[in-house]
Amino acid sequence: MLDLILSIYEIPVINILVKIIVILVPLLLTVAYFTYAERKIIGYMQVRIGPNRVGPRGWLQPIADAMKLMFKEIIFPSGANKVLFTIAPTLAIATALAAWAVVPFGSQMVLADLNVALLYILAMTSIGVYGVILAGWSSNSKYAIMSTLRTAAQVVSYEIAMGFALVGVVMAARSLNIGEIVEGQSGSIWGWYMWPLLPLFVIYFISGVAETNRAPFDVAEGESEIVAGFHVEYSGILFAIFFLAEYANMILISIMAALLFMGGWLSPFEGVSFLGLGSSFLAASSIVWLLAKTAIFMFLFLWFRATFPRYRYDQIMRLGWKVFIPVTIVWIYVIGIMYYMQIAPWFVKG
Amino acid sequence: METFVFYVFSAFIVLSALMVITVNNPVKAAFFLVLTFFSSAAIWLLLEAEFLAIILVIVYVGAVMVLFLFVVMMLDINMAQIKKGFVNNLPLAVAVAIAMFVTIFFVVGGDSFSASIFTIPDPHAADYSNVAELGKVLYTDYFYAFEIAAVILLVGIIAAISLTLRRRPNTRHQNIEEQVAVNSKDRLRVMKIEAQERK
């Protein structure tokens, strides 16, 4: 019996499908409980309790939400383009999930080990904006189209800053392969790229928040001005899919920040001589470290939302174009100088 | 398998390119152009030019076409108005098209694209990196061309900015520096008021 299962697993298509399921099912579960965590955490930050009625301590709330959205009617607005109206959320979720194909979870745990993985993720997030554009345009609604214009401008602007921040990482690691970028940070906690690339690290994460249209950059769904933004006309499962894509993108940005700047699956106790920690089990690289680091960034997303008021639109544009892009360009030069001076432990020619 | 993928994406390119020029709605035309770019990127992937393919997606699909759509969505294009002269101008358009096709055909010709010239390239080893190869060629053999292209782009940026930069002294606008430099003391005064007896 076991032999039979193993031999089926050897078939390439089956093998890849199994890997996809192994990545996607935990991802979608994380998305579901991320929404629950968001409501709970923001609730406690605002001295409320949050959802606590469905199941023990409200643990079944995300499942109840999903069921409700699945069984609700999908309403097509009059004058809407039905084909594009349904393609839009599909495009959003497809790109959000496709990006996970190249995300490594350990030194050998990756579905597609691309040489241009970093660019692939950038490409997928930039295609993701078409979901928003299509949704806004096909809805035949003024609020939706306003939101679409805002989002398109915002995402294109912050993509530049984000791209330049990634150029810094690529310069430091001399590779576009995410696995090699992580291995380049090994040695000790001081080998992580967040130290020499601190400004780029900050800019990457803030641009990531802007790219996913999350607070304080969520003018795409500014409730006070444009009701709910590009998905104002969406209901039922189509709306749920947009929701899913947004949260999958947030987790993607978090895991990328952990991989590129905080050493991914490398342990923070690596190379520590104090109390023999460096030789204990804590110093071993493991997926647990990666997930813990990712959780920190996921928490930051929620913390931002509970803390900061929404940016004004011109301030968002100014921050992207006049602050972030110049800082990243300057820092690329700084990295060049650091290379020239062979600053250890990051910029020593191996 | 590769041949099959090639034909699928080639069909996508040809069909979507046709749709770009035949479809009525300009926004839909722009979306079909996106599909054309995307399918071309897939063809480039088949040639093991993964760096160029993904750059094509990032630059054209991710940035250029988004801005293009941005403009097209805001324009109020009346297709009936534009199509009014279609039948009248058709003979001239056909003549120009035939002339263009003939000249291109004689310059480029069908022979330049025969399968004997472009044989299927040998697949590279697994550790071959398209990015590294491209970087080496770009920064050595084609260094001057690369620099000139960069300067031309820079000129383009400056020209575009200077075209759109209009100073309108009479408009009221916010002074960002002052806004950023403001602190709570400038905006908020905490007063101490003596308690008053209820009347």
The CATH number of the domain covering residues in B1-77: 1.20.120.1200
Residue A322 has pLDDT above 70, yes or no: yes
Task: For residue A123, give the nearest of B34, B54, B67 by CB distance.
Answer: B54
Single-letter amino acid code for the residue at A82: K
Q: Which long-range contacts (CB under 8 A, 24 or more apart) does A296-301 make?
A: A296/A254, A296/A258, A297/A205, A297/A253, A297/A254, A297/A255, A297/A257, A297/A258, A298/A34, A298/A37, A298/A250, A298/A251, A298/A254, A299/A41, A300/A205, A300/A254, A301/A209, A301/A212, A301/A214, A301/A250, A301/A254
Is A152 an 8 Å CB contact of chain B? yes
| Contact at CB, A156 and B63, closer than 8 angstroms | yes
Residues 259-318 (A) with a CB less than 8 A from some CB of B: 314-315, 318
Residue A323 has pLDDT above 80, yes or no: yes
Confidence of residue A211 (pLDDT cuts 50, 70, 90): confident
| Contact at CB, A153 and B27, closer than 8 angstroms | no
Residue A237 has pLDDT above 90, yes or no: no
Q: Rounded to the nearest 5 degrees, what angle is found at the Cα of A38, between the Cα atoms of A36 and A40?
A: 70
Largest CA distance in chain B: 105
- Provide the token pair at A259: 């991989």
Chain B residues with CB inside 8 Å of A127's CB?
Answer: 38, 57, 61-62
Cα–Cα distances in angstroms (integers) from residue B29 to residues A343, B15, B19, B75, B131, in the given order: 52, 12, 7, 14, 33
Complex ipTM value: 0.78
| Contact at CB, A126 and B129, closer than 8 angstroms | no
Look-up of token digits 């947030």: A250
Between CA B73 and CA A142 the distance in angstroms is: 12
Considering only A64-78, A193-207, A230-244, B106-120, which range has the smallest mean pLDDT? B106-120
H or E element at residue A42:
helix A12-45
- Provide the token pair at A229: 């933004």
Confidence of residue A347 (pLDDT cuts 50, 70, 90): confident
Output the 3-class SS for A88-134: HHHHHHHHHHHHHHHCCCCCCCCCCCCCCHHHHHHHHHHHHHHHHHH
| Contact at CB, B130 and A116, closer than 8 angstroms | yes
pLDDT of residue A349: 63
User: Each residue of B25-44: pLDDT tens digit?
Assistant: 888 888 899 889 989 998 88
Largest CA distance in chain A: 69
Q: Name the percent of chain B lying above pLDDT 90.
A: 17
Please give the average per-residue pLDDT across B90-116, as a whole number: 84
Is residue A347 within 8 Å of residue A334, measured between CB atoms? no
Nearest to A168 by CA among A341, A324, A344, A350: A324
| Contact at CB, A119 and B58, closer than 8 angstroms | yes
pLDDT of residue B11: 92
Interface test with A, best of B24, B38, B69, B77 (most A CBs within 10 A): B69
Q: How far is A316 from chain B (nearest CA, A)?
A: 12
User: What are the extents of the domains in chain B?
Assistant: 1-77, 129-166
User: Each residue of A105-141: pLDDT tens digit?
Assistant: 888 888 888 788 888 888 888 888 888 888 888 888 8
Which of A89-98, B108-117, B163-172 has the largest mean confidence? Answer: A89-98
Please give the average per-residue pLDDT across A281-294, as a whole number: 82
